[in-house]
Amino acid sequence: MAHTTSPLRQSVRSIESQVYELIRDRIVRAEYAPGSKLLLIPLSEELQVSTMPVRSALKRLSSEGLVAYRPNKGATVEPLELSAFLELQEIRIAIEVLAARTSARVAPPAVIAEMRAILQELQTGTLDLEESIALEWQGYLVCYRASGMPRLVDLILEHGRLVERYSRAAIGEVFDRETSAAEYTRLIDACEARDEDAAQQAVEAGLRRHIKALSAQLHDKETE
Residues 6+ apart with CB under 8 A from 92: 156, 159, 160, 163, 207
DSSP 78: P
What's the confidence (pLDDT) of residue 140?
98
77 SS3 class: strand
Q: For the domain bounded by 82-222, which CATH number is listed? A: 1.20.120.530
What's the confidence (pLDDT) of residue 136?
95
Q: Which regions of the chain are under pLDDT 50?
A: 1-5, 11-12
What's the confidence (pLDDT) of residue 25?
92
What's the confidence (pLDDT) of residue 129?
85
115 SS3 class: helix
The full set of domain ranges for the chain reads 15-77, 82-222
- Residue 130, burial from CB neighbour count under 10 angstroms (0-12, 13-18, 19+): exposed
What's the confidence (pLDDT) of residue 216?
77
Asked whether this chain's domains 15-77 and 82-222 adopt the same fold, the reply is no
- Residue 16, burial from CB neighbour count under 10 angstroms (0-12, 13-18, 19+): middle
Handedness of CA 126, 131, 137, 142 (dihedral sign): negative
Q: How many CA atoms lie within 13 A of 100 on its CB side?
A: 29
Query: Is domain 15-77 in CATH 1.10.10.10, yes or no?
Result: yes
How do residues 116-141 score in pLDDT, each as one tens digit?
999 999 998 888 888 998 999 999 99
- pTM assigned to the model: 0.83
What's the confidence (pLDDT) of residue 74?
87
What's the confidence (pLDDT) of residue 165?
86
**The amino acid at 75:** A
How do residues 20-39 score in pLDDT, each as one tens digit?
999 999 998 889 999 999 99
What's the confidence (pLDDT) of residue 13?
60
